[in-house]
Every structure is written in structure tokens, then in C-alpha cells.
């Protein structure tokens, strides 16, 4: 049983490895994009003659912006693409009768991309920043960071699965997907640390799933989020992942009843 | 000459009509996309507001002046992407659909600008215009100042459009791939949100002549807010006119070098 999913995983991994140069190019562009914001914040710190803003020093801000730039590799809910493409092409009909559970298969097809992007894109950048910035993470922080990244992947892709399932009713889901990724960026610390937002707004946002893609991993890596808060945040992230999984299961049960396909 | 210009403009206008009719068929999607493009402006406003809330901001620029620069940048990128989407153009070149288009008796550059844009980026133009109107009112820009600004802005938009088209074609001719030029557009859009002075002299030069994002947003704002002399702006207009001409002829030359990607 396990080998079936592993075979799918292997095929899609091989396919992706053909695009190594694109991953490297993407990494360069993500960093250039972050660099613009780093320059802006350096100008702001210098002109305001401040050593820290809301407790964030200029070096923490720089590290944070580069770190969230590299997390950008994992920010697109690729599972939605798989579902949308299968529904549009009619491939879903043959996929559903295969001796493999289709919802699992969508994740297995998508995981290689995220793993390869993580190892080829995010991880090297994290290591480079870690060395250059002279960061010191405890073993507990590293473990928490890894769990947070997994949770970020699950949260964004469970949302992607829910939106992707809707492709049966709406022809183009990319607008909604782009809106969701923008929302994660804007409300989840993809532009700047959420600590800079007004306190009330910050408090509300921390109760939503948005910060788990950028702010929580970025804040853990830079030390903006105190280590003592990390277990609580991880627990909250796990709850959100579970809630979104349940919604995804319910939506899929409803959607799978409406799938009708006529083969040619 | 005039007849050719008129014929090409008519083709551009007719293509827009057809594309907009097509968009009107999927109204709900269109509204979603418009909203998505508006998010870039909302994001800029939030970023600038927070920057000025937690600090003294950027040297020499008040909050509303920054909003003027940022909104012009959003309008600029919206207009550029309206006419050219590197991803879409690269895809049609790869799948061979591009061939049948450039074989038609119209200027290939106008053909590309007519067909391969992202029409929903108009959302960025609308939201940018709203923020610009508000910020311009708050900064008290005069009607004459506004007119000057929009003249320089328009030339700057044409220059950036032609530049993006040129590098997309160049990349395709050299590497048979150009989708990643969308990244250049994204970075250009982000960089243009702020006064070029924060990037230092290398940044000013880069974003004026290298990746000309400053021409449409920064320089018009700098002129009306008295940050640069009117003589400097003559130089900027000269650069804009020169780059438009150079990029245009480069695009025509690169189109001749294009080899079909098959079908």
C-alpha cells in the first residue's frame, strides 16, 4: 500500500529535478524582492535614528525579511493546482477509480515540489542567513521551527485543497488562490513582523491561521518570538491544521458526490 | 506612415473590445481578480502607514508624499501588466500560438501589446488612482503640477512597458524561456513604491536607466514636491523618449530573431 504512494512520490520528484535551474533562479528573485524591503527598512531606521522599533532591531528586521523571502517557496498551495487541473482535464474520473485514495495522491504528488523547494531553496538560504547573521538557535527552537514549517505546509495546502475542490463549481480558482496567498502575506507577516501592527490588530491576527506561514517561522528563526511562547504557538497551529483538515474532508465528501465524468 | 499607425491603433482598440467582452462572460472571476490586484495597493498603503506610525518615515518625504509615489507605482505596474504579461507571452511563444499572430499584417510590437496583457491588472490602476487622488489632494498638488506629473508618468509607463517586452523577447531568444520575467515585473513594482533616494546612487542609476521603474513614479513626484529641479526633469523626459525608441527598435529586431516553439 505504502509503495504505491512512494512510487507516485518518486515519479513527481524526478520530474521536478529537471527544473533545478528554475529553483535557483526563483531563490535569487525571492532574495532580491526581500532586499528591496531590507533597503527600505534600513533607510527608515537610519532616518528615525532608532536602534529598535517595537523591540525589533535593524539586524533582526533584516534577518526576518530574508527568512520570510525564502519561506515564499512554500507559500503557494500547490494541491489546489493538482485538483483544478485534474477536474478541468477530466483526469479526475480515471484517478478516482484507481486503487489509491485520490485526496492522499494529490498530496503525495505535491509533496516532492515542496520538499525539493525546501531543500534547494529555503534551507540553504536559512543556513546562509544563520551563518552570516551569527544567530544562535537552541535545539528546542530548531525542533519548533521544523514543526512550524510542516504546520505551515499543512495549513496552506489544506486551504488549497478546500479551494481546489471548489474547481468543480467554478471554472477558475486562481483568482481566489491568489487572494488567499495575498491575505497570508498581508495578515500573516509576509511584509513585516506582525509586532509592528497595532496591538489590537496583532492580538486578533494571532488567533487566526494567517501568522503560521510567515510570522511564526520567521519570528522563531530570528528570535523575535520568545522561545517560551513557541510550544503554545505550535499547539495553536496544530489545532488550526486539524480544523482545516476536517473542513477539507467535509468539503471533499460533498464535492466527490457531484463529480460526473464522461470519458471519450 | 499615418495610415499604418491608425490601422494598428484600430487593431489594438478592437482587440481590447473583444478581450473585455470575453472577460464580461466571467464576471465573478473578473471581480475576484480585480480585487486581487487591488490588494497590492492596499498592501502598500498598510506598509507605508505602519512605517510612518512606528518611525519618522523616509528622509525628506512626508506620509502623503510617499503615498503619491507608491500609488503612482501601483498605477504604473497595473498599466504595464495590462499590456504585457511576460508569462503569457512566453507561454504562447512556447506552444506556437504566437506564430499565427505575428504573421498578420500588423506591427508585431502592437500585436504583442494588444493580446498578451493581464486585463484584470486594471484593478491595480483603479485602486492606485483612488489612493493617488486622495494623497494628491492632501499634499495640495496644483492642476499644472498634476498635468506635468501625468505627462512624465505616461512616458515612463511606455518606457517600462517596452523594456519589459524587450527583456521578455531577449530572454526567449537566448534561453527559450521567459516566464521568470514576471519576477522582474514584481520586483520592479516593489522597488518603485519608494523614493529612489533610499537606494543610494547605484540604485538611482539602476532604477532610472537599467530597470526603468523610477521614471513613472519617482521623478514626477520629485518634480511636484520640489525635490529635483525642472532642468533635471527635462533630462528625465529625454531619457524616457530615448529609451522608448531604443526598446521599441530592439523589440522589432528581437521579433525577427524569434524562432517558433512549435505547436
Chain segment B203-212, per-residue pLDDT in tens: 999 999 888 9
Q: Indicate whether B136 belongs to any domain.
A: yes
Query: Which chain B residues are Cβ-neighbours of A196 within 8 angstroms?
Result: 50, 54
Contact assessment for residue B185 and residue B88, using Cβ atoms and an 8 Å cutoff: no
At residue A244, does pLDDT exceed 90?
A: yes
pLDDT, position A264: 46
Q: What percentage of chain B carries pLDDT values higher than 70? A: 99
B194 in A contact zone (CB under 8 Å): yes
Q: Which residues of chain B have a CB within 8 Å of the CB of A170?
A: 28-29
Residue window 168-197, chain A: list those with CB within 8 Å of chain B. Answer: 170-172, 175-176, 178-179, 182-183, 185-186, 191-192, 196-197
The C-alpha angle with vertex B30 and arms to A103 and B125, in degrees rounded to 5, equals 125
Smallest CA–CA distance, residue B102 to chain A, in Å, is 28
Q: How confident is the model at residue B97 (pLDDT cuts 50, 70, 90)?
A: confident
Q: Which residues pair with A56 in a beta bridge?
A: A53
Q: What is the mean pLDDT of residues A158-174?
A: 86
How far apart are alpha carbons A58 and B9 in whole angstroms? 51
Residue-wise pLDDT for B241-261, tens only, equals 999 999 999 999 999 888 776
Q: What is the DSSP string of A12-24?
A: HHHHHHTTHHHHH
**B61 close contact with A: CB closer than 8 A:** no
| Contact across the interface for A36 and B198, Cβ inside 8 Å | no
Indicate the number of domains in chain B: 1
Nearest to A83 by CA among A55, A103, A98: A103
User: With contacts defined as CB-CB under 8 Å, which chain B residues touch A185?
Assistant: 43
Question: Taking CB atoms and an 8 Å limit, are B32 and A29 in contact across chains?
Answer: no
Among A75-84, B195-204, B218-227, whose mean pLDDT is lowest? A75-84
B9 touches chain A (CB under 8 A): no
3-class DSSP assignment, residue B219: helix
Domain membership of residue B262 (yes or no) is no
- Write the burial class of residue B46 (CB in 10 Å: 0-12 exposed, 13-18 middle, 19+ buried): middle
**Residue A111 Cα to chain centre, angstroms:** 12
For residue A162, give how far its alpha carbon lies from the nearest alpha carbon of chain B (Å).
Answer: 17
Chain B hits for A43, Cβ within 8 Å: 58-59, 194, 198
In a domain, B129, yes or no: yes
Mean pLDDT within A182-208: 94
pLDDT over 90 (residue A116): no
Phi-psi region of A261 (alpha: psi -120 to 50; beta: other; left: phi over 0): beta
- The pLDDT mean for chain A works out to 86
Percent of chain B with pLDDT over 90: 66
At residue A262, the pLDDT reads: 53
Q: Assess if residue B261 is contained within a domain.
A: no
Residue B84 pLDDT level (bands cut at 50, 70, 90)? very high
* Residue in chain B lying closest to A179 (CA): B36
The answer to whether the CB of A113 falls within 8 A of the CB of A157 is no
| Cα–Cα distance for residue pair A151/A213, rounded to 1 Å | 8
* Per-residue pLDDT tens over the stretch B117-174: 999 899 999 999 999 999 999 999 999 999 999 999 999 999 999 999 999 999 888 8
pLDDT given for residue B76 in this prediction: 96
pLDDT tens digits, B1-30? 788 889 999 999 999 999 888 888 888 888
In chain B, residues with a C-beta closer than 8 Å to the C-beta of A46 are: 59
* Per-residue confidence band for B225, with pLDDT thresholds at 50, 70 and 90: very high
Residue B19 lies in a domain: yes
Task: Give one word for B262, left, alpha or beta, with left for phi > 0 and alpha for psi -120 to 50.
Answer: left
Given pLDDT bands bounded at 50, 70 and 90, which one contains residue A125?
confident
Cβ A185–B180 below 8 Å, yes or no?
no
Range of the domain at B252: 2-256
Task: Let me know: does A37 contact A65? Beta carbons within 8 Å.
Answer: yes
Rounded percentage of chain A residues whose pLDDT exceeds 70? 92
A119 vs A87: CA distance, rounded Å: 30
pLDDT tens profile B33-82: 889 999 989 999 999 999 999 999 999 999 999 999 999 999 999 999 99
Ramachandran class of A134: left when φ > 0, alpha when ψ lies in -120 to 50, beta otherwise:
left
Query: With an 8 Å Cβ cutoff, is A50 touching chain B?
Result: yes
Quick one: how far is CA B144 from the chain centroid? 23
Contact between A43 and B59 using a beta-carbon 8 Å cutoff:
yes
Mean pLDDT of A234-242: 97
Q: What is d(CA B195, CA B214) in angstroms, rounded to the nearest whole number? A: 8
A21 touches chain B (CB under 8 A): no
- Give tens-digit pLDDT for A15-48: 666 666 777 777 788 888 889 999 999 999 999 9
* Cβ-based contacts of B35 with chain A (< 8 Å): 175, 179
Quote the minimal CA–CA distance from A39 to chain B in Å: 7
Reported as a single tens digit per residue, the pLDDT across A215-234 is 999 999 999 999 999 999 99
**Structure confidence by residue, pLDDT tens digits, A63-109:** 999 999 888 777 778 888 888 888 877 777 777 777 778 888 888 77
Partner-chain residue, chosen from B29, B42, B50, that has the shortest CB–CB distance to A196: B50
The reply to whether B207 falls in a domain is yes
State the nearest Cα–Cα gap between B8 and chain A, in angstroms. 32
pLDDT at A261: 59
Is residue B61 assigned to a domain? yes
Residue of A nearest to B181 (CA): A29
B263 lies in a domain? Answer: no
B134 touches chain A (CB under 8 A): no
Min Cα separation A198/chain B (Å): 8
Burial (CB < 10 A; 0-12, 13-18, 19+), residue B254, is buried
Amino acid at each position: 500500500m505504502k509503495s504505491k504512494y512512494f512510487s507516485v512520490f518518486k515519479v513527481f520528484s524526478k520530474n521536478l529535478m529537471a527544473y533545478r535551474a528554475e529553483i535557483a533562479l526563483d531563490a535569487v528573485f525571492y532574495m532580491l524582492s526581500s532586499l528591496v524591503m531590507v533597503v527600505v527598512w534600513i533607510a527608515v531606521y537610519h532616518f528615525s535614528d532608532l536602534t529598535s522599533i517595537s523591540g525589533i532591531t535593524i539586524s533582526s528586521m533584516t534577518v526576518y525579511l530574508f527568512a520570510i523571502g525564502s519561506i515564499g517557496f512554500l507559500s503557494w498551495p500547490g494541491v489546489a493546482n493538482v485538483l483544478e487541473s485534474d477536474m478541468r482535464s477530466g483526469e479526475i474520473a480515471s484517478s478516482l477509480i484507481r486503487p489509491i485514495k485520490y485526496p492522499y495522491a494529490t498530496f503525495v504528488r505535491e509533496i516532492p515540489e515542496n520538499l525539493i523547494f525546501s531543500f534547494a531553496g529555503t534551507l540553504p538560504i536559512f543556513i546562509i542567513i544563520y551563518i552570516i547573521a551569527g544567530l544562535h538557535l537552541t535545539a528546542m527552537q530548531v525542533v519548533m521551527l521544523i514543526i512550524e514549517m510542516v504546520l505551515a505546509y499543512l495549513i496552506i495546502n489544506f486551504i488549497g485543497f478546500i479551494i481546489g475542490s471548489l474547481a468543480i463549481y467554478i471554472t477558475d480558482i486562481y483568482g481566489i488562490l491568489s487572494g488567499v496567498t495575498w491575505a497570508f502575506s498581508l495578515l500573516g507577516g509576509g511584509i513585516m513582523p506582525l509586532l509592528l501592527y497595532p496591538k489590537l490588530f496583532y492580538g486578533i491576527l494571532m488567533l487566526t491561521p494567517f501568522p503560521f506561514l510567515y510570522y511564526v517561522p520567521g519570528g522563531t528563526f530570528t528570535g523575535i518570538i520568545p522561545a517560551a511562547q513557541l510550544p503554545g504557538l505550535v499547539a495553536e497551529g496544530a489545532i488550526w491544521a486539524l480544523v482545516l483538515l476536517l473542513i477539507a474532508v467535509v468539503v471533499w465528501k460533498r464535492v466527490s458526490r457531484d463529480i460526473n465524468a464522461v470519458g471519450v | 506612415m499615418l495610415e499604418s499607425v491608425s490601422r494598428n491603433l484600430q487593431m489594438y482598440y478592437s482587440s481590447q473590445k473583444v478581450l473585455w467582452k470575453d472577460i464580461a462572460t466571467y464576471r465573478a472571476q473578473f471581480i475576484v481578480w480585480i480585487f486581487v490586484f487591488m490588494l497590492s495597493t492596499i498592501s502598500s498603503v498598510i506598509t507605508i502607514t505602519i512605517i510612518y506610525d512606528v518611525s519618522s518615515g523616509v528622509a525628506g518625504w512626508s506620509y502623503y508624499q510617499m503615498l503619491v509615489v507608491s500609488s503612482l507605482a501601483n498605477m504604473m505596474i497595473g498599466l504595464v501588466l495590462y499590456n504585457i504579461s511576460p508569462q503569457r507571452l512566453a507561454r504562447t511563444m512556447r506552444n506556437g500560438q504566437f506564430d499565427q499572430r505575428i504573421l498578420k499584417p500588423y506591427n508585431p510590437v502592437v500585436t504583442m501589446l494588444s493580446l498578451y496583457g493581464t486585463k484584470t491588472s486594471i484593478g491595480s490602476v483603479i485602486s492606485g488612482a483612488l489612493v493617488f487622488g486622495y494623497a494628491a489632494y492632501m499634499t495640495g498638488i496644483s492642476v499644472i503640477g498634476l498635468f506635468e506629473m501625468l505627462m512624465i508618468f505616461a512616458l515612463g509607463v511606455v518606457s517600462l512597458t517596452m523594456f519589459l517586452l524587450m527583456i521578455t523577447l531577449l530572454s526567449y531568444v537566448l534561453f527559450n524561456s521567459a516566464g521568470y520575467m514576471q519576477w522582474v515585473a514584481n520586483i520592479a513594482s516593489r522597488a518603485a513604491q519608494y523614493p529612489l533616494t533610499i537606494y543610494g546612487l547605484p540604485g538611482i542609476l539602476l532604477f532610472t536607466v537599467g530597470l526603468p521603474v523610477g521614471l513613472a513614479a519617482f521623478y514626477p513626484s520629485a518634480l511636484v514636491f520640489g525635490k529635483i529641479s525642472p532642468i533635471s526633469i527635462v533630462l528625465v523626459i529625454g531619457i524616457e523618449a530615448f529609451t522608448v525608441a531604443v526598446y521599441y527598435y530592439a523589440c522589432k529586431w528581437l521579433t525577427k530573431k524569434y524562432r517558433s516553439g512549435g505547436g
